[in-house]
A and B are shown apart, each in its own frame.
Chain A
Amino acid sequence: MSKYLVNLKINNMPIAVEEGTTILEAAKKLNFRIPTLCNHPDLTVAGNCRVCVVEVKGARLLAAACATPVSEGMEVFTNSEKVRVSRKHIVELLLSEHNADCTKCFKNGHCELQDLSSEYRIGDHVFLDLVRPESKIQDISSPSIVKDDSKCIRCQRCVRTCAELQGVSALAVVNKGDHQKISTFLNKPMHEVVCTNCGQCINRCPTGALTERNYIEEVWNALYDPSKFVVVQTAPATRIALGEDLGIPVGERVTGKMVSSLKKLGFNKVLDTDFTADLTIMEEGTELLTRLKRALVDKDEKVVLPMMTSCSPGWIKFQEHMYSDMLENLSTCKSPQQMFGAVAKTYYADKINIKAQDMIVVSIMPCVAKKFECERPEMRDSGYQDVDYVLTTRELAMMIKQAGIDFNKLEEAHYDSILGESSGAAVIFGATGGVMEAALRTAYEIVTGREVPFTNLNIQPVRGMEGIKDATIKIKNVKPEWSFLEGVDLHVAIAHGLANARQLMEKVRKGEAAYHFIEVMGCPGGCLGGGGQPIPTSPEIRKKRTEAIYQEDEDMPIRKSHENPEVVEIYKEFLGEPLSHKSHDLLHTHYKPRKRY
Chain B
Amino acid sequence: MLTTEALVKELVEKNGRTRNSLMPVLQGIVQQEHYLSEEALLCVAKELDLAAADVYGTASFYTFLDTVPRGKNIIRVCKTITCHMKGKDEIVNTLSNALKIKVGETTHDKKFTLLTANCLGWCHKGPVMLINDEVYPELTPQKALEIVEEYAKSTH
Contact = CB atoms under 8 A, between A and B. Distances in A.
A and B together in one complex: yes
Interface of A: 163, 168-176, 183-186, 193-194, 596-597
B46 interface: yes
Interface string B52-79: 1111110011000001000000000000
20 contacts: A163-B51, A169-B50, A169-B53, A169-B54, A170-B51, A172-B53, A173-B57, A174-B53, A174-B56, A174-B61, A175-B61, A176-B60, A183-B53, A184-B53, A185-B55, A193-B53, A194-B51, A194-B52, A194-B53, A596-B46
Contacts of A193: 52-53
Nearest to B51: A169
Contacts of B22: none
Contacts of A184: 53
A84 B53 CA distance: 37
Contacts of A168: 51
Contacts of A174: 53, 56-57, 60-61
Contact of A170 (B45, B46, B53, B55): B53
B57 A186 contact: no
B69 to A, nearest CB: 14
Contacts of A172: 51, 53-54, 56-57
Nearest to B57: A172
Contacts of A171: 53
Contacts of B57: 172-174, 183
Given A172-B51, A186-B67, A597 B56 contact: no
B38 interface: yes
A188 B22 CA distance: 22
Given A173-B57, A174-B56, A175-B61, A186 B51 contact: no
A157 to B, nearest CB: 16
B42 interface: yes
A172 B61 CA distance: 11
B41 interface: yes
Interface residues of B, number: 16
A173 B57 CA distance: 6
Contacts of B67: 186
A187 to B, nearest CB: 9
Nearest to B56: A185
A4 B136 CA distance: 60
Contacts of B53: 169-172, 174, 183-185, 193-194
B54 A597 contact: no
A55 to B, nearest CB: 33
A212 B55 CA distance: 27
Interface in B12-47: 38, 41-42, 45-46
Contacts of A596: 46
Instruction: Rank and list the top 5 A-B pairs by shortest CB-CB distance, nearest first.
Output: A169-B51, A172-B57, A172-B53, A185-B52, A174-B60
Nearest to A181: B60
A186 B56 contact: yes
Contacts of B60: 174-176
Contacts of B45: 597
A173 to B, nearest CB: 5
A352 to B, nearest CB: 48
Given A173-B57, A174-B57, A175-B60, 4 more contacts: A174-B53, A185-B51, A185-B55, A186-B41
A171 B54 CA distance: 8
A597 B42 contact: yes
B61 A176 contact: yes
B116 to A, nearest CB: 16
A184 B38 CA distance: 13
A185 B41 contact: yes
Contacts of A170: 51, 53
A4 B67 CA distance: 50
Contacts of A169: 50-51, 53-54
Contacts of A163: 51, 54
A183 B57 CA distance: 8
Tell which of B51, B53, B57, B60 has the most Cβ of chain A within 10 Å: B53
Nearest to B43: A597
Contacts of A597: 42, 45-46, 52
Contacts of A176: 60-61
A172 B46 CA distance: 17
Contacts of A186: 38, 41, 56, 67
A186 B67 CA distance: 9
Contacts of B41: 185-186
A194 B50 CA distance: 12
Contacts of B38: 186
A495 B55 CA distance: 28
Among A173, A184, A186, A596, the most chain B Cβ lie within 10 Å of the Cβ of: A186
Interface in B108-137: none
Nearest to A171: B53
Contacts of B55: 185
Nearest to B46: A597
A428 B67 CA distance: 48
A84 B42 CA distance: 46
Contacts of B54: 163, 169, 172
B83 to A, nearest CB: 20
A589 B55 CA distance: 35
Contacts of A175: 60-61
A524 B104 CA distance: 46
B55 to A, nearest CB: 8
Contacts of B61: 174-176
A163 B53 CA distance: 11
- Most interface-central of B38, B46, B56, B67 (chain A CB within 10 A): B56
A172 B50 CA distance: 12
Interface in B61-101: 61, 67
A597 B49 CA distance: 10
Contacts of B56: 172, 174, 183, 185-186
A183 B38 CA distance: 15
A163 B61 CA distance: 19
A168 B38 CA distance: 19
A174 B41 CA distance: 14
A184 B41 CA distance: 13
